[in-house]
Amino acid sequence: MNVIAFIGAGVIGAVLSVVIKQYRPEFSIYISLVTGMIVLGALVIVISPVIESALQLSELTENGFKYSELLLKSLAICYITQLASESCKDAGESSIATKIDLAGKCAILILSMPLFTELVNIVKGLMS
């Protein structure tokens, strides 16, 4: 993975955003959003073989696939939520950013409820 390319794209986007902000401030947020999406898209392409390998390894265990899938979905929700929240903060909408953070946390809670239910059932089985 060439980290320098990601850093370069981010720095170029930030500099371009700052320069554009001086002349057309309304376009600055669009440059920031596009830069973030480009970096995130490139990162997804680069990291997808690692995710596929992790899923293949987790298929070797009985419940590993289910737990790995839950972990990867939670991680994706975290990253997407953080990107959206930071973009809103950059646009000066911290109130919306807070709501996005809350929505991400609720989504992870909903996603993990079957795991909590299974854990309670295991504990109940051990106690009886």
Q: Hey, what long-range contacts does 111-120 have (CB within 8 A, 24 or more apart)?
A: 111/70, 111/73, 111/74, 111/77, 112/70, 112/74, 115/67, 115/70
Write phi, then psi, for 125 (nearest 5 degrees). -65, -35
Query: How many degrees, rounded to 5, is the angle at CA 94 between CA 108 and CA 14?
Result: 95
pTM above 0.85, yes or no: no
49-79 pLDDT, tens digit per residue, is 887 887 777 777 666 667 777 888 898 899 8
97-109 pLDDT, tens digit per residue, is 999 999 999 999 9
